[in-house]
Amino acid sequence: MSGPKGGSYRVESAEQIEARQLRDAKARYTRVQSLWESAQLRMAATVAVIGKPVPHQTPVAVRSGAGSTEYDAAAARLEALVEKANNAASTALEEHSEAQFAGQIARIAAATAAAAPPVPVVRREQEADTAPAAAPTVDRKRVADRVQRRLSELAAVEHDQERVRVLVDDIANAGSESRIDLLISELDVLVRNGRDAAAHAAAVLQTRAALQEISVRVSGIVGALADSIRRRVADLLASEVEDVPAELKADVDRAVAAADTQADRQHLVASMHRALEQLGYVLGPEFDTQLAGDQGTAVVAGPTAGYGVKVRLESGVNRFSAQAVKSDAVITSGEQDLEVEREFCDDFHELVTLARADGVELDLDIELQPGEAKVQAVAAEKVAARRSVATSRHRPAERKRDRP
């Protein structure tokens, strides 16, 4: 692999891409499922209030073994059904409210002032000047419209139905604008309280759905951070929080990114293992654990006796380096080192091609040519193993191997 080479790597295998898309699609579907369950509870409560069923569609279950595309489509369909179910419940409640209060609203619109109109009396001019003005007539149609608007708003939220009936009845019997305004202001308080309660409930439902989505996203992740996230999610699900804490969202993104980075690393290690074996290098069982571990360094023996290659993966980032090495127990010449480096350089470019077939792109930004750097010496036992000619990959006849 000639002089030291290094750069970044990207894993773009179809399997890796689908695995991540499926994880996220399942998480999104879980969130919408939570909202659907809430819509079903609301529908059941609506039926209990109005005393009759409300027609609505039910979703089709996602088939076992479905892929990310199917889960995304199922989530979109279910989200549309959630909106339709909630709208159907709201419409049914509003219609029920209109029917329930129809008689009282009609009474308001048709009522007359409680006091009879004054009988005209002929007065002297002086008395007429000092006579009190007639009480203004209440616009009953306008009052009925004002009450109806509030009843429509109350139909969509939880409220004290008996209190509303009493208030509407009092409005129908009231004979002055001031009294009516006071009673309507009490309706306004009920409307505001209902809106606030509904907003809180909606926020809690959305947050609960988001927390369940998080649970699915981190379900397959191991480690202290993921364990901490799961504990916090469980605590939040047991409460009525209105939003997912920002620091929890950040930790989830961090945990998922770290898991993806580790998965990329393991995929790269497996790809390098296969490629190096095809190129005639001798890999022991410790190669994978050494390269995928925190230190991320492994040395393997090459097809040429006394030589090998050291591969290193940096921790926490998608970067790699590779360089030719030789046994510290053998004295070699500069020409030998240069020749082996040239052969390793050819091997490296073949490794890049083999890795690409595995969905791994190796992007070089460090590439020293043969002879630009001294070949590093390593412990002899690390490059002592040799592969027989029978099991080595076929190489062109002009390339020299197994030099003493």
**Is 50 exceeded by the pLDDT of residue 113?**
no
The pLDDT value given to residue 117: 47
- Distance between CA 361 and CA 264 in Å, rounded? 11
Residue 273 binned pLDDT confidence (cut-offs 50, 70, 90): very high
Max CA distance (Å), the chain: 141
Residue type, 213: E
State the alpha helices, DSSP H only, in 51-160.
Answer: 68-110, 125-130, 140-155
Strand 319-327 to strand 360-367: parallel, antiparallel, or no bridges (unpaired)? unpaired
Given a cut of 60, whether residue 389 has pLDDT beyond it is no
- Tokens encoding 149: 């608007």
Task: Taking residues 37-52, report their average pLDDT.
Answer: 91
For 2-6, 91-95, 214-218, 333-337, which range has the lowest pLDDT when averaged over its residues? Answer: 2-6
pLDDT class for 400, splitting at 50, 70, 90?
very low
Backbone angles phi, psi at 124, to 5 degrees: -70, 160
E strand or H helix that includes residue 112:
none
- 252 in a structural domain: no
Instruction: Band the pLDDT of 403: cuts 50, 70, 90.
Output: very low
Q: Helices 68-110 & 14-50, crossing angle to 10 degrees? A: 20
232 and 282 in a single domain? The answer is no
Higher per-residue confidence, 114 vs 329: 329
Least confident of 134-138, 167-171, 192-196: 134-138
Kindly report the number of other CB atoms within 10 A of residue 363's CB atom: 12
Q: Domain range holding 306?
A: 262-382
Q: What angle do CA 156, 162, 167 make, to 5 degrees?
A: 90
235 and 374 together in one domain:
no
Instruction: Please tell me the distance from the alpha carbon of residue 271 to that of residue 345, in angstroms, as a whole number.
Output: 18
Taking the C-alpha atoms of residue 204 and residue 206, their distance in angstroms, rounded to an integer, is 6
pLDDT of 329 reads: 87
Domain boundary among 244, 278, 299: 244
Task: State the average pLDDT over residues 136-163.
Answer: 85
| 135 has pLDDT over 90 | no
Same domain, 240 and 272: no
Confidence (pLDDT) at 179: 92
Tell which residue, 318, 369, 329, has the closest CA to residue 11: 318
Average pLDDT (120-134) is: 52
How far apart are alpha carbons 110 and 38 in whole angstroms? 41
Q: Does 344 reside within a domain? A: yes
pLDDT at 112: 47
Same domain, 78 and 208: yes
Mean pLDDT of 95-111: 79
Rounded to an integer, the average pLDDT of 374-398 is: 61
Q: Are residues 368 and 226 in the same domain?
A: no
**Is residue 125 in some structural domain?**
no
pLDDT band at 132 (very low <50, low <70, confident <90, very high): low
Q: Evaluate whether residue 316 is within a structural domain.
A: yes
Average pLDDT of the chain, as a whole number = 84
Residues in the chain: 404
pLDDT band at 291 (very low <50, low <70, confident <90, very high): confident
Q: Mark whether 153 and 277 lie in a shared domain.
A: no
Q: What average pLDDT does range 5-26 have in this prediction? A: 91
Alpha helices (H) in 218-245, listed in sequence order: 224-237
Domain count, the chain: 2
Please tell me the predicted confidence (pLDDT) of residue 2: 52
Which is more confident, 67 or 290?
A: 67
The secondary element (H helix, E strand) that includes residue 33 is helix 14-50
Query: Would you say residue 63 has pLDDT above 70?
Result: yes
CA dihedral 187, 191, 192, 198 (to 10 degrees): 160
Do 165 and 292 fall into the same domain? no
To the nearest whole percent, how much of the chain has pLDDT over 90?
A: 42
388: confidence class by pLDDT, cuts 50, 70, 90: very low
Residue 294 lies in a domain: yes
Q: Is residue 73 scored above 70 in pLDDT?
A: yes
Q: What is the reported pLDDT for 398?
A: 42
By CB neighbour count within 10 A (0-12 exposed, 13-18 middle, 19+ buried), where does 286 fall? exposed
Burial class (CB within 10 angstroms; exposed 0-12, middle 13-18, buried 19+) of 96: middle
Region for residue 108 given its phi and psi (left: phi exceeds 0; alpha: psi -120 to 50; beta: otherwise): alpha
Mean pLDDT of the 20-28 span: 95
b or e along 30-54 (b: 16 or more beta carbons within 10 Å of the residue's beta carbon)? Answer: bbbbbbbebbeebbeebeebbeeee
Q: Is the pLDDT of residue 151 over 70?
A: yes
What average pLDDT does this structure show over 180-205?
93
Asked if residue 276 belongs to a domain, the reply is yes
Closest CA to 275 of 185, 212, 349: 349
Which segment of 7-16, 199-208, 375-384 scores lowest on mean pLDDT?
375-384
DSSP for residue 321: E
Is the residue at 249 inside a domain?
no
Query: Does one domain contain both 280 and 370?
Result: yes
- pLDDT at residue 126 in the model: 54
What residues contact 224, with CB distance under 8 A and at least 6 apart? none
Q: Which two tokens stand for residue 361?
A: 């792109």
Choose between 253 and 381: higher pLDDT: 253
More confident residue, 94 or 231: 231
Dig out the tokens for 242 from the structure.
Answer: 């209105």
Of the two residues 121 and 54, the one the predictor is more confident about is 54
- Quick one: 41 and 85 in the same domain? yes
- Tell me the mean pLDDT in the region 43-50: 89
Name 304's bridge partners.
Answer: none
Which domain-ending residue is among 244, 271, 294? 244
In a shared domain, residues 193 and 336: no
Q: Please check the confidence at residue 308 and state whether its pLDDT lies above 60.
A: yes
225 with 315, same domain: the answer is no
- How far is the C-alpha of 22 from the C-alpha of 75, rounded, in Å? 12
CA dihedral 80, 86, 87, 93 (to 10 degrees): 170
- Helix axis angle for 177-217 and 14-50, nearest 10°, is 150
Is residue 1 situated within a structural domain?
no
303, two tokens: 């097809």
Phi, psi of 385 (to 5 degrees): -65, 145
Residue 114: band (very low, low, confident or very high) from pLDDT cuts 50, 70, 90: very low
Residues 54 and 93 in one domain: yes
- 């369950």: which residue's tokens? 37
